[in-house]
């Protein structure tokens, strides 16, 4: 059997598509948007964490207590700056996140070992400054207990007498967890990239051919329909694979430029994980164009086809959205379900668990079966007189 | 040579073609003449194997189209009713693509392509993308890609429809050239002048049937009129049905 027609058709579709500016913009957009969004969100979390560790402390009346100021300056990540003239207004107007005010009689009261007055201005309704306010409060508390301890030692008393409790706070909702939820959407963006980059060729080579009236002359060539369909599918699949791999590589690059260790993230995206993810999601990149081509065969124009594709993309994102509410645990019954199976396996790979070989093979086989089914259906459609001549 | 016998094709309850038979020998330009909606295009679609007749037989040379449409398509060059191009491919790329799909060997394909560019007068647009082509230019490119595999039998469905004078002349030239190479050319049109200028034999189709057949002179004689146009009105008009 002569199969060179498949290659000729795939080559033509790829050349044609590479000259399509709209297709190229779509490729760039769909491969960039996911990684950049993930990077942006992780960066936000890292930024908030870092902001709490490296704080600027605006102090009014620093001259009244060089001791406190010097102690603050010695703490890691703390920078003392001159505070605003009107601390209350500055915090209310959001010019300052918080302000520390040392009162005039601080030195005198401190010398007399009476409580020395310090005011901390903050706005508890502001979510994004809470971490910083918490930090400065704990710094001031530490200064308080250190000085108190020294005073007790000077009087021959153990400082532990003054501590009835040893309180250790364990924060459960931490940055690492928030970062982990963001990692969970990486598989969704990979699957979306496969769907969106193959789509241009899948629709242009079916609905587009009908719209231009080029389908009839094409079908007049002595090439079996299934080879025609396979050639077009091959071109779309190569584009989808490229889109997926580019998305993955950009994601890895973005992640490697972020201080993930500081967030306590245990996810890792190295070469090994990239390879495993490509193997896991490749069947999706094969399946997506087949489904898209089948659907697009019904459409009389490129635009009509694209409106069908919208629904498809929406359906694809459902597992991704659901997983951020209900974590998907990799269970055997998920494997044969296309997209869900790959989704669960991708989460395992990202979490550093070795994926189940049997599961991957079952997932891949199910998706490849879908390819066969939809290419068969598309072949049937492209032989139907209603599709060939209906305009 | 193309032989169609008793072709029938219905869409729903309406017969678009209801008993069309004709023979188109080699070295002859056969014209299918008929008003719009007479069944010319449907008849041709059955001949080139993209539409299956409800009944009847079609042979292209020694190939049965209904049984082996792909085999018949190797022997056919078709300029169909819809002959859209790919806006991002050049004329050369269009011709090459179809040549490759027809299985023309690479070196022969390049030679054949240059010859077609010469005959059909495509030189000025050979390496331009089809996106901005005029209707005439598009038709010429479509014609070139239909002839790239050197088919013995050529089907042209209203090839000069909507073309300007220059393009019409170019298409006519190509048809004469094909005839001189002893090929079988079938040409459909509803334009009298086209048919009378080019065709050796005319098959008049109306209401899905062949109503008359012969040379232009024979048709005029048959109708008892003095011009082909009058003959056509008599043969294809409503009176024809009453007979």
Domains of chain A in sequence order: 4-45+177-389 (no CATH), 54-167 (3.40.1710.10)
> With an 8 Å Cβ cutoff, is A219 touching chain B?
yes
Taking alpha carbons only, the member of A79, A309, A299, A123 closest to residue A198 is: A309
Residues of chain B contacting A12 with CB distance shorter than 8 Å: 89, 93, 97
Q: Is residue B122's pLDDT more than 50?
A: yes
Which pLDDT belongs to residue B229? 81
Which pLDDT belongs to residue A266? 64
Query: Cα distance from A299 to chain B (closest Cα, Å)?
Result: 17
Residues with Cβ within 8 Å of B233's Cβ and at least 6 positions away in sequence, in order, are none
Give the residue from chain A lying closest to B47, CA to CA. A220
What whole-number distance in Å separates Cα of residue A288 and Cα of residue A194? 7
The residue-averaged pLDDT of B122-151 equals 94
Region of A272 on the Ramachandran plot (φ > 0 left; ψ -120 to 50 alpha; else beta): alpha
Per residue, the 3-state secondary structure of chain B, as one string, reads: CEEEEEEEEEECCEEEEEEEEEEECCCCEEEEECCCCCCHHHHHHHHCCCCCCCEEEEEECCEECCCCHHHHHHCEEEECCCCCCCCCCEHHHHHHHHHHHCCCCHHHHHHHHHHHHHHCCCHHHCCCEHHHCCHHHHHHHHHHHHHCCCCCEEEEECCCCCCCHHHHHHHHHHHHHHHHCCCEEEEEECCHHHHHHHCCEEEEEECCEEEEEECHHHHHHHHCCCCHHHHHHHHHCHHHHHC
Q: Cα A147 vs. chain centroid, distance in angstroms?
A: 46
The residue-averaged pLDDT of B190-204 equals 88
- The number of beta carbons lying within 10 Å of the beta carbon of residue A368 is 15
Taking alpha carbons only, the member of A78, A126, A282 closest to residue A198 is: A282
> With an 8 Å Cβ cutoff, is B74 touching chain A?
yes
Q: Percent of chain B beyond pLDDT 70?
A: 98
Q: Is residue A187's pLDDT more than 60?
A: yes
What whole-number distance in Å separates Cα of residue A125 and Cα of residue B118? 81
For the stretch B207-217, pLDDT in tens is 999 999 998 88
* Sheet-wide strand order for A55-60: A78-82, A55-60, A98-102, A118-122
Lowest mean pLDDT among A106-110, A225-229, A289-293: A106-110
Which pLDDT belongs to residue A316? 82
Q: Is residue B243's pLDDT more than 60?
A: no
Nearest neighbour of B86 by CB, restricted to A2, A214, A391: A214
Taking alpha carbons only, the member of B209, B196, B199, B189 closest to residue B81 is: B189
Whether A385 and B50 lie within 8 Å, measured CB to CB: yes
Which pLDDT belongs to residue A169? 65
Top-confidence residue, B71 or A332:
B71
Taking alpha carbons only, the member of B109, B115, B112, B161 closest to residue B139 is: B161
Which pLDDT belongs to residue B241? 44
What whole-number distance in Å separates Cα of residue A155 and Cα of residue B51? 108
The residue-averaged pLDDT of A189-215 equals 92
Q: Which tokens go with A346?
A: 């991708």
Candidates A206, A220, A230, A389, partner chain B, best to mutate (most B CBs within 10 A):
A220
Q: Are A171 and A261 in contact (CB under 8 A)?
A: no
Top-confidence residue, B95 or A28:
B95
The CA-to-CA distance between both ends of chain A, in Å, stands at 33
Q: Is residue B76's pLDDT more than 50?
A: yes
> With an 8 Å Cβ cutoff, is A9 touching chain B?
yes
Residues of chain A contacting B140 with CB distance shorter than 8 Å: none
Which pLDDT belongs to residue A33? 87
Residues of chain A contacting B48 with CB distance shorter than 8 Å: 220
Q: Cα A97 vs. chain centroid, distance in angstroms?
A: 29
| pLDDT winner (highest mean) among A89-93, A387-391, B229-233, B235-239 | A89-93
Q: Is residue A172's pLDDT more than 60?
A: no
Q: Percent of chain A beyond pLDDT 70?
A: 93
Q: Are A227 and A379 in contact (CB under 8 A)?
A: no
Q: Is residue B90's pLDDT more than 90?
A: yes
Which pLDDT belongs to residue B228? 81
For the stretch A30-47, pLDDT in tens is 888 889 988 888 888 777
Lowest mean pLDDT among A109-113, A176-180, A239-243, B81-85: A176-180
- Provide the β-strand partners of residue B22: B4
Residues of chain B contacting A2 with CB distance shorter than 8 Å: 103
Domains of chain B in sequence order: 1-75+154-243 (3.40.50.300), 80-150 (no CATH)
């Amino acid at each position: 059997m002569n199969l060179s027609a498949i290659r000729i058709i795939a080559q033509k579709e790829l050349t044609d598509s590479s000259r399509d500016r709209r297709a190229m913009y779509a490729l760039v957009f769909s491969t960039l948007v996911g990684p950049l969004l993930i990077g942006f969100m992780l960066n936000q979390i890292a930024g908030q964490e870092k902001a709490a560790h490296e704080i600027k402390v605006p102090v009014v009346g620093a001259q009244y207590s060089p001791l406190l100021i010097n102690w603050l300056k010695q703490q890691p990540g703390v920078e003392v700056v001159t505070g605003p003239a009107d601390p209350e207004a500055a915090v209310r107007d959001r010019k300052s996140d918080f302000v520390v005010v040392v009162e005039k009689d601080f030195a005198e009261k401190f010398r007399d070992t009476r409580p020395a007055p310090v005011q901390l201005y903050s706005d508890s309704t502001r979510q994004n400054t809470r971490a910083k306010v918490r930090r400065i409060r704990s710094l001031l508390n530490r200064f308080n207990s250190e000085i108190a301890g020294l005073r007790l030692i000077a009087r021959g008393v153990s400082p532990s007498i003054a501590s009835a409790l040893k309180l250790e706070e364990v924060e459960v909702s931490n940055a690492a967890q928030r970062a982990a939820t963001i990692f969970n959407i990486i598989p969704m963006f990979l699957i979306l990239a496969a769907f969106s980059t193959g789509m241009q060729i899948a629709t242009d080579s079916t609905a587009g051919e009908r719209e231009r009236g080029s389908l009839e002359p094409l079908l007049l060539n002595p090439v079996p329909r299934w080879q025609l369909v396979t050639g077009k599918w091959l071109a779309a699949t190569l584009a989808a694979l490229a889109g997926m791999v580019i998305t993955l590589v950009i994601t890895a690059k973005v992640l490697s430029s972020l201080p993930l260790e500081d967030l306590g993230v245990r996810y890792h995206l190295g070469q090994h994980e990239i390879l495993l993810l490509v193997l896991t999601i490749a069947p999706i990149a094969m399946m997506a164009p087949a489904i898209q081509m089948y659907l697009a065969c019904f459409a009389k124009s490129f635009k009509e086809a694209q409106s069908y594709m919208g629904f498809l993309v929406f359906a694809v994102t459902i597992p991704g959205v659901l997983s951020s509410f209900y974590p998907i645990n990799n269970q055997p019954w998920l494997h044969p379900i296309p997209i869900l199976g790959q989704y669960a396996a991708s989460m395992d790979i990202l979490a550093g668990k070795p994926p189940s070989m049997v599961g991957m093979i079952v997932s891949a086989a199910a998706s490849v079966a879908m390819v066969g089914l939809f290419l068969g259906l598309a072949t049937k459609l492209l032989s139907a007189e209603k599709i060939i001549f209906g305009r | 040579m193309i032989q169609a016998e008793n072709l029938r094709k219905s869409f729903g309850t309406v017969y678009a073609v209801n008993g069309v038979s004709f023979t188109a020998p080699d070295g002859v330009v056969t014209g299918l003449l008929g008003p719009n909606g007479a069944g010319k295009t449907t008849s041709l679609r059955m001949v080139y194997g993209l539409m299956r007749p409800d009944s009847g037989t079609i042979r292209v040379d020694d190939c049965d189209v209904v049984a082996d449409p792909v085999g018949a398509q190797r022997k056919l060059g078709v300029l169909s009713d819809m002959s859209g191009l790919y806006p991002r491919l050049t004329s050369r790329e269009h011709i090459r693509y179809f040549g490759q799909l027809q299985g023309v060997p690479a070196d022969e394909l390049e030679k054949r392509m240059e010859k077609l560019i010469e005959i059909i007068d495509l030189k000025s647009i050979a390496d331009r993308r089809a996106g901005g082509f005029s209707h005439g230019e598009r038709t010429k490119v479509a014609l070139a890609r239909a002839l790239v595999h050197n088919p013995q039998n050529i089907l042209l469905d209203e090839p000069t429809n909507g073309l300007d004078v220059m393009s019409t002349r170019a298409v006519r030239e190509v048809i004469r050239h094909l005839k001189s190479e002893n090929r079988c050319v079938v040409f459909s049109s509803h334009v009298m002048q086209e048919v009378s200028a080019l065709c050796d034999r005319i098959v008049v189709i109306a209401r899905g049937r062949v109503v008359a057949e012969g040379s232009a002179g024979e048709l005029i004689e048959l109708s008892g009129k003095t011009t082909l146009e009058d003959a056509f009105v008599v043969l294809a008009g409503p009176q024809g049905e009453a007979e």
